[in-house]
Structure 1
Amino acid sequence: MTTDTGSTDTGSTGTGGTLDLDKLYAARLHAARVRPYLATALFALHVVESRLVPTMGVDRHWRCYVSPAFVARTPVEELAGVWVHEVSHLLRDHHGRSERVARQRGLTGPAERLRMNIAADCEINDDVYGDGLARPEDAVYPQSLQLPEGELMEDYLRQFRLGPRTQLLSWLDCGSGADGLDREWDLCPDGAHGLSEQEQDAVRFRVAQGITARPGSTPKGWRRWAEEAFHPPQPWRELLGAAVRSAASGSGAGEDYSYGRPARRSAGLPGVVLPSLRRRPPRVSVVIDTSGSVSDAELGSALLEVAAIGRAVGGRRDLVTVLSCDAAARVAHPLCRAEGIPLVGGGGTDLRTGFAQALRSQPQPDVIVALTDGQTPWPSTRPPCRTVVGLFPKRATDSWNDPDYVPDAPPEWARVVTIGSSPGAR
């Protein structure tokens, strides 16, 4: 793994003072002392001096571009917070997530990238400052935009637009590592001291290990991130792809118009911009097996999958409902925060009641996702929508009641994947 050895590269030309490396590295050391679980990531960043970057910014290759003037005028305690802030963007893959959101929602241009940077800052800043790190006066928080705390970048993007509350944030620029848009000061991908994807994954794994080793001393957002690092959810956008295509081709599927991506007919009408028809993502009903044979760890994995499903439908929580089911189906809950969903049960298992409850909901789902250990009877007929079954891995204790018990295999009409492994299909 490449780590910073104290040298810098000149990323731009121009006049100005020399970068105060002693002060910058003292701030990094302070950051590592007060956030020891982030030390591996902090020391994996390679410093690049640049007079083009406004303050400090990162690229997707884990290079940190630093303005000498910014370091000179900023106290060490505040610089330590900036170190943690910038490396948080990289650990949480904000550049990759921003690129995916931009493709999914048709977001283009610097203004939308600024909005992504603001949304990413709202996600991480609650976990950055305090407890030894000074809070800058101009730091962006959800409260300053009248947004709820504890949500993800994708959620915040749907809840605000650039306007009066954000006009003072036009200076904000954490670099391409925060929003995926290349900057003029970025070195080329093969430039000095960039981390490979394998090295980046190794850094994330080490940080996740540090967080899980001392969970009581880390913020909730970082604990959630570490859980996903160790148990990566399924790629639900790919798994729901057929349902997305089916929903898009159905009647009424394209009822939403947007000027974010002008219609192709606009080319034939000079001076007139027509909105394009936007296809909605599928409605998803998630049925979670809460019977006595499902462990707490498996229920925790199920909630991670629910959060990933919410992201796969573009953050549209109104399109996802969740039912807990043992021998009886419970109330269908709209998706809010995955960790806030009540999972009630503990008796026997019969997911047929969950399927029936999901199909009674209005409007009906385009896809049903069942998360279960598989010890359940299945519906005898194929539901009138697509079905994905997520199976928890079989444990050695699964058959402790009856060593000869073999559960029914999921039906042939269901797409089957194993939770906690790469997706498979039948």
Structure 2
Amino acid sequence: MPAPGEPAPGAPALDRTKLLAARFKAAGDRPYLASALYSLTVVPTAAVPTMGVDRYWRCYVSPAFVDATPVEELAGVWIHEVAHLLRDHHGRASRLPAADQRDRARLNLAQDCEINDDLLADRLRLPASRVVPGDFGLPTGRLFEEYLAGVPPQPHPHDCGSGAHGVPAPWELPGRGGAASVGDVEAAALRRATAEAMRAHERSRGTLPGGWKRWAEQVLEPVVDWRRVLAGAVREAVAWAGGAVDYTYRRPSRRTPALRGVVLPSLRRPLPRVAIVIDTSGSMGDDELGAALAEVTGVLREVGVGANRVSVLACDADVQAVSRVTSAGQVELGGGGGTDMRVGIARALASRERPQVVIVLTDGFTPWPHEPQTCRLIAGLVGEDPPNPPGWVETVRVR
């Protein structure tokens, strides 16, 4: 097998003029991809069947493939390969279960499905050998993680390189040596610059493909792990509510033995009471609600707020049930009608054991109290694009 960058004996030399003309066309037709495309370093090799990329932004090119492919299709392949790198496919692949990471052929095909349906919708020409979700009976517009389970085992290898599936191919250069390369910091900057160029292009022309639009939004406005944010909000609210201290003689101060005949009280930090108001209207999903509720109850146990200090109110247009729980599995979600979380909040605050913290889990399509409450109020908004509650409500988006 010839080394990367060296032609095989008798193999045609790389037609760089044709290859670079195709890149020029790709960058001219999709100018928001120009910086990323021109960051790729060309490495000719007969060992790669078509074109592929490694994680260091080196593009391995078969001279025979370039000779056999029209410039317009080569431009589409350039965009396909750089899309693997822009969408961080190798980084995302590293977070999959080990068994999925080892099945490089299926993984690579799922990644190609994510890319190619967007490129074809953008009227780009690709070689006839390209794969799309419809080849496996899958819907368009999904991420490769969603496609992976629907791609059957493959008898023939399919390899776009470590820039796609994350595992170095035999035809790749070792590490970052041997040719110009792009490191992780530079790659992150390229992704952000490309996303900003896409947003500017959309504002001026309004023609950005849907898949690229979603990707640019994710890069420029990344979704923070809602579990971490929700846990932080609950911990901070509990600490705030329990911040008040008082004196008690039930446990005398440790200084008492030093003062003969005098009993000193000790300081006590009371644990707050917490109410969880759950939206059980028809628009809510049980899976999302269960995940959010499990997160909340787990954090409360962690900070020492036991089940005897937590009440759960299942609520749609009216309060359906009030129950004390020790785990999320004990909650029965009733209701299913309209939504008015004001009813649940008012019911919680009217109870004899008034809570200092109220956590509302809802899709956001509900009226809210007109003014700040006397308790700490946290809204966990479940689902896609929920409307914002009033500014004084602490908000965590559960996606």
Coarse TM-score class (shorter-chain normalised): 0.5 to 0.7
Question: Residue 34 of structure 1 aligns with which residue?
Answer: 29
**Could you tell me how far apart the structure 1 residues matched to 2:173 and 2:126 are?**
30
**Could you tell me how far apart the structure 1 residues matched to 2:197 and 2:214 are?**
13
**Could you tell me how far apart the structure 1 residues matched to 2:320 and 2:95 are?**
33
From 105, 120, 123, the counterpart of 2:114: 123
Contact 1:358/1:364 (<8 A) preserved: no
**Could you tell me how far apart the structure 2 residues matched to 1:359 and 1:47 are?**
66
Contact 1:59/1:175 (<8 A) preserved: yes
From 186, 201, 218, the counterpart of 1:228: 218
SS at match of 2:112: helix
Cα offset, 1:335, TM superposition: 7.9
Question: Residue 304 of structure 1 aligns with which residue?
Answer: none
From 163, 167, 177, the counterpart of 2:163: 177
Q: Percent identity?
A: 42
**Could you tell me how far apart the structure 1 residues matched to 2:322 and 2:75 are?**
52
Taking structure 1 as reference, are residues 331 and 186 closer, same or farther at Cα in structure 2, changes over 3 Å only?
same
Alignment of structure 1 residues 366-385 onto 2, 5 Å: none
**Could you tell me how far apart the structure 1 residues matched to 2:174 and 2:330 are?**
43
Taking structure 1 as reference, are residues 48 and 146 closer, same or farther at Cα in structure 2, changes over 3 Å only?
same
Contact 1:78/1:135 (<8 A) preserved: yes
Cα offset, 1:98, TM superposition: 1.3
- In structure 2, stretches of 5+ residues that fail to align are 232-276, 289-311, 332-341, 354-358, 363-369, 380-393
Taking structure 1 as reference, are residues 332 and 184 closer, same or farther at Cα in structure 2, changes over 3 Å only?
same
Taking structure 1 as reference, are residues 366 and 235 closer, same or farther at Cα in structure 2, changes over 3 Å only?
farther
From 283, 288, 294, the counterpart of 1:331: 283
Q: How many residues align?
A: 280
The amino acid across from 1:152 in the alignment is L
Question: Residue 190 of structure 2 aligns with which residue?
Answer: 203
The amino acid across from 1:174 in the alignment is C
**Could you tell me how far apart the structure 1 residues matched to 2:15 and 2:126 are?**
22
Question: Residue 303 of structure 1 aligns with which residue?
Answer: none
From 158, 161, 179, the counterpart of 2:152: 161
Taking structure 1 as reference, are residues 71 and 238 closer, same or farther at Cα in structure 2, changes over 3 Å only?
farther
From 148, 151, 173, the counterpart of 1:187: 173
The amino acid across from 2:181 in the alignment is G
Cα offset, 1:359, TM superposition: 11
Deviations 1:55-107 (A, max 9, x none): 1000111111111111111111110010000001111111111121133xx33
**Could you tell me how far apart the structure 1 residues matched to 2:360 and 2:181 are?**
39
**Could you tell me how far apart the structure 2 residues matched to 1:61 and 1:389 are?**
43
Cα offset, 1:353, TM superposition: 5.1
From 107, 128, 135, the counterpart of 2:100: 107
Taking structure 1 as reference, are residues 334 and 326 closer, same or farther at Cα in structure 2, changes over 3 Å only?
closer
Taking structure 1 as reference, are residues 172 and 332 closer, same or farther at Cα in structure 2, changes over 3 Å only?
same
Greater Rg by CA:
2
Alignment of structure 1 residues 263-282 onto 2, 5 Å: none
From 48, 51, 59, the counterpart of 1:53: 48
**Could you tell me how far apart the structure 1 residues matched to 2:320 and 2:7 are?**
65
Alignment of structure 1 residues 244-393 onto 2, 5 Å: 329-333=281-285
SS at match of 1:125: helix
Cα offset, 1:366, TM superposition: 10
Contact 2:109/2:151 (<8 A) preserved: no
- In structure 1, stretches of 5+ residues that fail to align are 1-8, 242-324, 337-350, 368-374, 382-386, 391-400, 412-416, 421-426
The amino acid across from 1:117 in the alignment is N
**Could you tell me how far apart the structure 2 residues matched to 1:157 and 1:136 are?**
22
Taking structure 1 as reference, are residues 66 and 180 closer, same or farther at Cα in structure 2, changes over 3 Å only?
same
The amino acid across from 1:97 in the alignment is R
Deviations 1:364-403 (A, max 9, x none): 6699xxxxxxx9959789xxxxx9999xxxxxxxxxx87x
The amino acid across from 2:208 in the alignment is T
Contact 2:77/2:126 (<8 A) preserved: no
Question: Residue 79 of structure 1 aligns with which residue?
Answer: 74
Contact 2:314/2:320 (<8 A) preserved: yes
Residue 62, structure 1, aligned to residue 28, structure 2: no
TM value normalised by structure 1: 0.56
The amino acid across from 2:100 in the alignment is L
SS at match of 1:87: helix
Contact 1:11/1:49 (<8 A) preserved: yes
The amino acid across from 1:332 in the alignment is M
The amino acid across from 1:115 in the alignment is R
Cα offset, 1:136, TM superposition: 1.9
Deviations 1:199-237 (A, max 9, x none): 101111111112212332111111111110011112468
Contact 1:205/1:229 (<8 A) preserved: yes
Contact 1:47/1:63 (<8 A) preserved: yes
**Could you tell me how far apart the structure 1 residues matched to 2:171 and 2:15 are?**
19
Question: Residue 84 of structure 2 aligns with which residue?
Answer: 89
Contact 2:93/2:165 (<8 A) preserved: yes
The amino acid across from 1:202 in the alignment is A
**Could you tell me how far apart the structure 2 residues matched to 1:89 and 1:64 are?**
11
Taking structure 1 as reference, are residues 72 and 418 closer, same or farther at Cα in structure 2, changes over 3 Å only?
farther
Residue 14, structure 1, aligned to residue 8, structure 2: yes
Cα offset, 1:159, TM superposition: 1.9
Cα offset, 1:52, TM superposition: 1.1
Cα offset, 1:36, TM superposition: 1.5
SS at match of 2:170: coil
Residue 408, structure 1, aligned to residue 376, structure 2: yes
